[in-house]
Amino acid sequence: MKLPSFFGSRRKRLKSRIVSRILSHFALIVATLFALFPIYFIFWTSILKIQLAAISLSSLIPNLALITLYNYNYVLSDPTFFTIYLKNSLIFGLSAAGVGLVLALFTGYALSRFTFPGRKPFIYFIIALMQFPGTMLVIPYFFMFKELNLINTYLGLIIPYSAGSIVFTGILVKNYIDSIPEDLEEAALVDGETKTGAFTKVIIPLIKPILGLGVLLAFIGPYTDFILARAFITGNSLQTLALRLYSVSSISSSGGAAIDYGVFSAFSFLMGIPILIIYLIFQKYIISGLTLGGVKG
Amino acid sequence: MATVRLEHITKKFGETTAVDDISLTVNDGEFVVLLGPSGCGKTTTLRIVSGLEVQSEGHVYIGDRVVDNVEPKDRNVAMVFQSYALYPHLKIYDNIAFGLKARHVPRAEIIKKVNETAKMLQIHQLLDRKPAALSGGQRQRVALARALVRDPEVFLLDEPLSNLDAKLRAATRIEIKNLHLRLRKTMVYVTHDQVEAMTLADKIAVINQGKLLQFASPMEVFMKPAHRFVGDFVGYPSMNMLGGELEETAAGTFFFTPAIRMKASGAQAGKYILGIRPEDIVVSKSSSKGSLECTVRGLERTGSDNYLFLDYSEGGIVASVTGPDYSAGEKVYVTFDPANAHFFDAVTGAAVPLSASI
């Protein structure tokens, strides 16, 4: 190849790289705005003096004169926000995440490492299960749990919530363990570890990133669930944030029910904080997962 | 230190037999290489010694102990994996210390041993790093250190050099040899590289299709291959194999191929294969009595050795030559000393004690 044409093609390549970079940045920015807008909208509505109904496009522009903390004050001044709703949501979310994760860990490991009859069909069965909407289960669950006297109990919700997270997280864990060479476990076995030791000292540290993601997903589901909670919770003491979000922002007026979007937005925003905290706690595992390099030379 | 003894080891995976009735003894302090092509069962054999795989039949002894039902952790063996299998989440120090910690060695002793071993392998400046930050050669040393630090009875090495580049491989090969000479530990080493096998081993076990074909010193394996496969596999370029028949005639017993005829004795009449190494072939530009006329197909230059690819009436022959002055299409004449010829049974492939003369 002649030198000039080589440089020429390099310049051309550079140009096309810049163009593709501009295009991809543009697409990413649009996507980010698209994702961020609802959050901005909710936040702005939550601190807005006027009701959403009165909002015009221009009122989306930040304006100090329109800001109030009234909605937050309204939500937080009611102590039951913490003593009932937040407490219950955390109990459901954390216990479902905990129980679901431990079971998903064993499920995922078994599906990845053990060979047993019917393993493949079982995996497909689990994947097929994920395609069905959870709503489908509400009624059968209700009748089943009513027989077991589990309606309106913590256990009655923790069981279906945990079960729900095993399926998805189990597959996540399985796929992640598939990518870890068996050599590592075998090296630990020859090095003097038991099978359990190899699992806890080699596999678990290596799958922390996926466990972090699993905890997050297994928490968000129950924490934000409305449908199952609505069906299973009849008394006041077990009410969750998601249920309260509905009741707190409904205004009864002579004309029928309406929604107070200011309160709704403030409540939603506060409800998101625990999710953010859990994300921040497990974020470092997700990052540490990225620094795990290849093993081969 | 210990001997390793395999007694009639067979390993089946479903319908396939990976290891087929292998028996061999690795003496105390010996360096034994299991050599064979990929998929021949050599790694499975090594894994059976380690306990990571359990044999379908037969017994494994380490020292005087039957270890058939002993877990890998209790066999007191150390293994170096082809992939190195360093724990990616642990620093080099903790990688090396892993086995000692698992065995509840006191902390002070762990620190001392890890540092000593790391110094010996010149990786002490890497102890704070993670495996991902190391080069292939460095990782290889860490894998060796992790095995050495435990001071096990037996070292098992599974193609430890195959992920290194050629230069580093040669250097590390010498280092492993020196380590063995210094430590005099029982080592079992798996490779498909015959150069590694020849240079490292006290004894080579040549394995093909799960069967142990020859278990002998490197020189014996090279000079007296016990099986056609061994002759073919060990040595580069491969031994030339010429099919022929041993026939008794009025004038005596002769080994014939259509192009070659030589006196031979020591076996019954039948089909045999004559094996002759490229370096035992004499190439001349002029014909002589009994020489075989060949046409030069090509010359492969490697620097010190040149390999001449020849065609004759029945097929191809490779000869090792010193001079580079051959050109394609040229006629040359080939002879060899019958004493250098190897004979194998055409059916079983086993070596036969035929001796030939002109």
Cα–Cα distance list, A178 to A182, A258, B110, B139 (Å): 9, 51, 33, 23
Q: What are phi and psi of A152, to 5 degrees?
A: 65, 35
Q: Which residues of A touch B99 (CB under 8 A)?
A: 191-192
When the pLDDT of each residue in chain B is averaged and rounded to a whole number, the result is 92
Exposed/middle/buried for B291, CB within 10 Å: 0-12, 13-18, 19+? middle
How many CA atoms lie less than 13 Å away from A8 in the CB half-sphere? 5
Over 70: is that where the pLDDT of A286 sits? no
Q: Is B307 on the interface with A (CB under 8 A)?
A: no
Q: Distance, in angstroms, between A228 CA and closest chain B CA?
A: 40
In percent, how much of chain B has pLDDT > 90? 75
From the list B99, B132, B164, the residue facing A191 with the nearest CB is B99
Q: What share of chain A is helix, strand, coil (3-state, %, to 5)?
A: 75, 5, 20
Contacts of B103 in chain A (CB under 8 A): 192
Residue A166: pLDDT over 70: yes
For residue range A252-285, list pLDDT tens digits in order. 766 667 788 889 999 999 999 999 999 898 887 7
CA atoms within 13 A on the CB side of B307: 14
Distance from CA of B209 to the nearest CA of A (A): 24
Of the candidates A193, A205, A292, the beta carbon closest to that of B73 is on: A193
- Three-state SS for A80? helix
> Is ipTM strictly over 0.85?
yes
Which residues are CB-neighbours of B227 under 8 A, at least 6 positions away? Answer: B206, B208, B213, B214, B344, B349, B350, B351
Nearest partner of B164 among B175, B155, B151, judged by Cα:
B175
Q: Which residues of B touch A202 (CB under 8 A)?
A: 87, 89
Nearest to B180 by CA among B4, B1, B47, B35: B1
Mutate which: B50, B70, B86, B142, vs A, most A CBs within 10 A: B86
**Residue A205 to residue B1: CA distance in whole angstroms:** 34
Give A194's contacts in chain B (Cβ within 8 Å).
71, 73
- What pLDDT is stored for residue A96 in this prediction? 93
B83–A189 C-beta distance less than 8 A: no
B54 and A CB contact within 8 Å: no
Does residue A1 surpass a pLDDT of 90?
no
- DSSP state, residue A34: H
- Do B142 and B133 touch, CB atoms closer than 8 A? no
Single-letter amino acid, residue B158: D
Distance between CA atoms of residues A42 and A48, nearest Å = 10
Q: Are A179 and A259 in contact (CB under 8 A)?
A: no
pLDDT tens column, A145-164: 999 999 999 999 999 999 88
Partner-chain contact B77 A202, CB within 8 Å: no
pLDDT in tens, B308-329: 999 988 888 999 988 778 888 9
Residues forming a β-bridge with B276: B240
CB contacts of A188 in chain B (<8 Å) are 87, 98, 102
Inform me whether the C-beta atom of residue B84 falls under 8 Å from chain A C-beta atoms: yes
Beta bridge partners of B310: B296, B317
- Interface contact A183-B89, CB threshold 8 A: no
Name the pTM for this structure: 0.83
Topology alike, domains B4-233 and B240-357: no
Fill in the DSSP letter of residue A81.
I
| Residue B85 at interface with chain A, using a CB cutoff of 8 Å | yes
Interface test with B, best of A189, A191, A285 (most B CBs within 10 A): A191
Query: What are the b/e assignments for A47-65, b being 16+ CB within 10 Å?
Result: bbeeebeeeeeeeeeeeee
Coil, strand or helix at B259: coil
Interchain proximity A293–B99, CB inside 8 Å: no
How high is the pLDDT of residue A8? 57
- Between chains, do B89 and A292 touch, taking CB under 8 Å as contact? yes
Closest to B136 (Cβ–Cβ): which among A189, A197, A297? A297
Tokens representing residue A278 in the block: 């859990």
Cβ-defined contact of A296 to B163 (cutoff 8 Å): yes
Angle CA A209–B133–B46, to nearest 5: 85
* pLDDT tens digits along A73-118: 999 999 999 999 999 999 999 999 999 999 999 999 999 999 889 9
CA distance B98 to B238: 44
- Cβ of B72 under 8 Å from any chain A Cβ? yes
Write out the two tokens for A296. Answer: 């081969």
CATH number of B240-357: 2.40.50.140
> What residue in B sits closest to A209 (Cα-Cα)?
B89
Going from N- to C-terminal start, the domains of chain B cover 4-233, 240-357
Domain B4-233 sits in CATH 3.40.50.300: yes
**Residue in chain A nearest B155 by alpha carbon:** A190
* pLDDT recorded at residue A198: 95
Which residues of chain A lie closer than 8 angstroms to B150, CB-CB? 191-192
Please tell me the least confidently modeled range out of A163-172, B134-143, B291-300: A163-172
How buried is residue A160: exposed, middle or buried, by Cβ count under 10 Å (0-12/13-18/19+)?
Answer: buried
Handedness of CA A239, A245, A248, A254 (dihedral sign): negative
Residues in chain B with CB shorter than 8 Å from the CB of A186 are: 52, 72, 79, 81, 85
